[in-house]
Amino acid sequence: QVQLVESGGGLVQAGGSLRLSCAASGSIFSINAMGWYRQAPGNQRELVATIASGGSTNYADSVKGRFTISRDNAKNTMYLQMNSLKPEDTAVYYCNADIRLYSLSYAKRYWGKGTLVTVSS
C-alpha cells in the first residue's frame, strides 16, 4: 500500500509564506509526475502545480511567480513553497503522485488527504 501525507498547512496573514510537504511511503518502485491541487469551499478542485520526475514544472496562472514546486526523489517527498499568500489562496491543498509499486508493472495515481491553508486579510 501507498500513503501520501501532506503537512505544513496552517493560518497565515496575507503576504506571508508557508511551505507544504507531501511524503510518499510504501513499497514504491518509482514515482513519476507529482502535483498539488487545492479546493476552496464551494469550489471544484483545481490544479496548482505539477512536477515531472525529471523536474520540469507547470503552474496555474494564479500562482505563477509566487509558488514554487520541488521534489526530493531520494526522500519520495514533494514540496510547495508558497510566498506572497493572498486570502484567495485559502483552501485545502492535496498532493497526488503517479506511483509504481514493486508488485505492479504500471503506475497508479494516489492522493493525500489534504492540509488546510487559511490566509487572513
- The three-state (H, E, C) secondary structure of the chain, written as one string: CEEEEEECCEEEECCCCEEEEEEEEECEEEEEEEEEEEECCCCCCEEEEEECCCCCEEECCCCCCCEEEEEEHHHCEEEEEECCCCHHHCEEEEEEEEEEECCCCCEEEEECCCEEEEEEC
User: Does the pLDDT at position 1 exceed 90?
Assistant: no
Q: How confident is the model at residue 104 (pLDDT cuts 50, 70, 90)?
A: confident
pLDDT digit string, tens, across residues 43-91:
999 999 999 999 999 999 999 999 999 999 999 999 999 999 999 999 9
pLDDT at 105: 86
Between 84 and 1, where is the model more confident? 84
Band of residue 7 on the pLDDT scale cut at 50, 70, 90: very high
